[in-house]
Structure formats: C-alpha cells, structure tokens
Structure 1
Amino acid sequence: MVRAPAGVLSTRGEDVDPTDPEVVQLAADLVATMRVSPGCVGLAANQVGVGMRVFCVDVSEHPKTRTQHGTFVLCNAEVVASSRNEKAREGCMSVPDFTGDVKRASRLTVRGELPGTGEVVVFDTDAFEARALQHEIDHTDGFLFLDRAAGAHAIYPRQTYL
C-alpha cells in the first residue's frame, strides 16, 4: 500500500483502455487487495503504485450504506451530476494515521467503463456509496481527502479501538 506523500498519489492517473489484459488483471488485483484489507471499501490503482485511472468499490457491508451496487471496478470514471453536499468523516489506507471532515455530494451520477468489456456504464447512487466513489475518483485524479478537508482544524488523529 502506497502512503502519502508518495508522488503517485498526487498525480492524475493515465486514462486506460479497459479491454487491455493488463487493466483487467489490475482490476482483479485491486478487488483482491481490497477484500483482504480490514475496513477497506475502495481502492484506487495509484494506492498500489500504478498511475492508472482504475478503482474498485464495495460498500455493501458498511453500516452507513443505503444504495449499493455490490463489488465493482470502474475505469476512467467521472462524476456527471451531483447534489446535496454533506460533511462527514473520511479515512484512507494511504493516510493511515489521520481522518478528516470532508464535504461531498450525497447524491451522485457516475460514468465509467467496465474492465474487460469496455462497456460504458452510468449509474446513480447516494449516501455512503456516493462518498466512496468521490473519494476513489479523487484518487485517480491525484487528490487525497486531505486536499478536500476544510483545513487543518478538520484533520484528526485516527482513533484506534481495541
């Protein structure tokens, strides 16, 4: 897992051909890594040192989830519509020692391409899945949640629980 301040985390990833076998393998690797990482609900390629616009998300087990689309991987994803900004606490595996309050849209429409087929998908989501998607899209664009926090006063040491 790449940790801040590694340069790959602050650099926009390259757009990819979602049908490229290397991208398909990367997609599978991201999902496998997410599944073995406790508490992880999303993982972007640059978090594993690969500067490509690919990420996976699965919020289905998270208690704050309302709408969810299961486990999926998107390539070259972008937000096409958003509304209802809300502030909430976020954490990140690439910033393991801190969390922060970040304002993000709670309703979202996202467009991306599926690895393997290259099929373009557009879907709507809300609540926690919307937040997770924006967090991962930010990663592919070279941003961390720290870049979106309201300032130093909105960053906190991560709490550890026994």
Structure 2
Amino acid sequence: MAKLPILTAPDPRLKQKATPVERVDDEVRRLMDDMLETMYAAPGIGLAAPQVGVLKRLIVVDVARDGEPPAPYQLANPEILWVSDEDAGYEEGCLSLPDHYGEVMRPANIRVRYLDRQNEIRELEADGILATCIQHEIDHLDGILFVDHMSALKRNMILRKLLKAKKQQALPAYSAAS
C-alpha cells in the first residue's frame, strides 16, 4: 500500500466529473487500499479518488470513532437510490480544504448502490454521519465540494484563504545567509 498526495482546492481537477469504473479488479482494489491508507494517515473519515488525482468513481469511508475497530467501506460507482425527506446538518470538513469547516444540510438517510471489492453489486442504507460522509464523497465524484453547498460569501472566503496559503507555499524560502 502507498500513501497518495491529496489535492487541495482550488486545484481545477477537484471540479471535474469522475468516470465510472468498468470493473473492480486488482488495480482498483490496490487504489482503494491506497486511498484508505491515505485517508487514515491524513486523518480523515472519507476520501474520493478525484482527491488523489484519479478521475474514477471510487470512494472510501470509515466513520468508526476512536477506540472502535476500523469499519471501512470501499465503494465503486456509488449511486444514491433514495434519500429521506428529513435533512440533517453537520459541520463538514474536507481533506482537500484543510482546516476549513462549514454547516451543510443533507438528507438524513440514504440508500446507495455500489460495486464492492469483489465486483458485486451491493446496497447500503445509511444514516447519521455515515450518510453525510457518503454524500460528501459522492459529491467529489461530480466535481462538487462541500463549500459549494454554502453561501457564495462563505465559499469565496474559504477558497481565497486556500489560494493565499497555496501561493505562500510556492514562494521560495530565503535563508538568513542570503
């Protein structure tokens, strides 16, 4: 397994749509494993393939709390089949928008269909933070960031801060000896 670099906004690749996975084979399973390792190391609770520069419809999620055994989900071609009428708000963050958070309203319960590690079609009903996390990661597959669900003012403020931080990282470091 390998830890992968995570793209940060405003990288234009984060706004592109991912293409479906033809079948879950050894190469896709390896990518899923690398994505899990990357997510755990970050640390995070979800990661989509576009966040590591791969425009494939793959997500990994693990919302197990500290002290609980890992409970990872690896979903290829996830598709939301049903959403509840009830919404729930969560303070969301994102590995591609480090250190920025915002309240996002999403359906409280969902049913999703996907391909599992064995290339079998599965369905999963989710609620709470698992439902939120899956919806957040599926958004990534469609080029949508959690800030796109916020007001233009809040979104632009966060994106400007990220752009400024990126520019500062790109500046050459000058030593005192120069």
Same-fold call, TM cutoff 0.5: yes
Aligned length: 150
SS in 2 for 1:87: strand
Matched with 1:75 is 76
Deviations 1:115-144 (A, max 9, x none): 3x2101111110111000000000111110
CA contact (8 A) 1:17 1:23 kept: no
Matched with 2:165 is none
Shift of 1:152: 2.4
SS in 1 for 2:108: strand
Q: 1:2 aligns with which of 4, 7, 10?
A: 7
Name the structure, 1 or 2, with higher relative contact order (CA <8 Å, separation 6+).
1
Describe the shift of the 1:12–1:82 C-alpha distance in structure 2 as closer, same or farther (beyond 3 A): same
Worse-matched range after superposition: 78-87 or 49-58:
78-87
Instruction: Measure the CA separation in 2 of the matches of 1:123 and 1:101.
Output: 25
Uncovered stretches (5+) of structure 1, i.e. residues with no partner: 63-68
Paired letter, 1:20: D
* Identity fraction in percent: 35
TM (normalized to structure 2)?
0.77
Give the 5 Å matches for 1:5-84: 5-38=10-43, 40-61=44-65, 70-83=71-84, 84=86
Q: Which has the higher strand share?
A: 1
Shift of 1:156: 7.8
Shift of 1:80: 0.7
Paired letter, 1:137: I
Matched with 1:138 is 139
Q: Which has the higher helix share?
A: 2
SS in 1 for 2:17: coil
SS in 1 for 2:34: helix
Shift >6 Å, 4+ stretches: 154-158
CA RMSD of aligned residues (A): 2.1
Matched with 2:169 is none
Instruction: Measure the CA separation in 2 of the matches of 1:87 and 1:156.
Output: 21
Paired letter, 2:27: E
Matched with 1:99 is 101
Instruction: Measure the CA separation in 2 of the matches of 1:143 and 1:130.
Output: 17
Deviations 1:26-47 (A, max 9, x none): 1110111112122x00011111
Instruction: Measure the CA separation in 2 of the matches of 1:130 and 1:79.
Output: 10
Uncovered stretches (5+) of structure 2, i.e. residues with no partner: 1-5, 162-178
Matched with 1:88 is 90
Paired letter, 2:97: V
Paired letter, 1:42: G
Shift of 1:22: 1.9
Deviations 1:78-131 (A, max 9, x none): 11111111222111010114211211011111111113x210111111011100
Worse-matched range after superposition: 10-19 or 133-142:
10-19
Matched with 1:127 is 128
Describe the shift of the 1:142–1:91 C-alpha distance in structure 2 as closer, same or farther (beyond 3 A): same
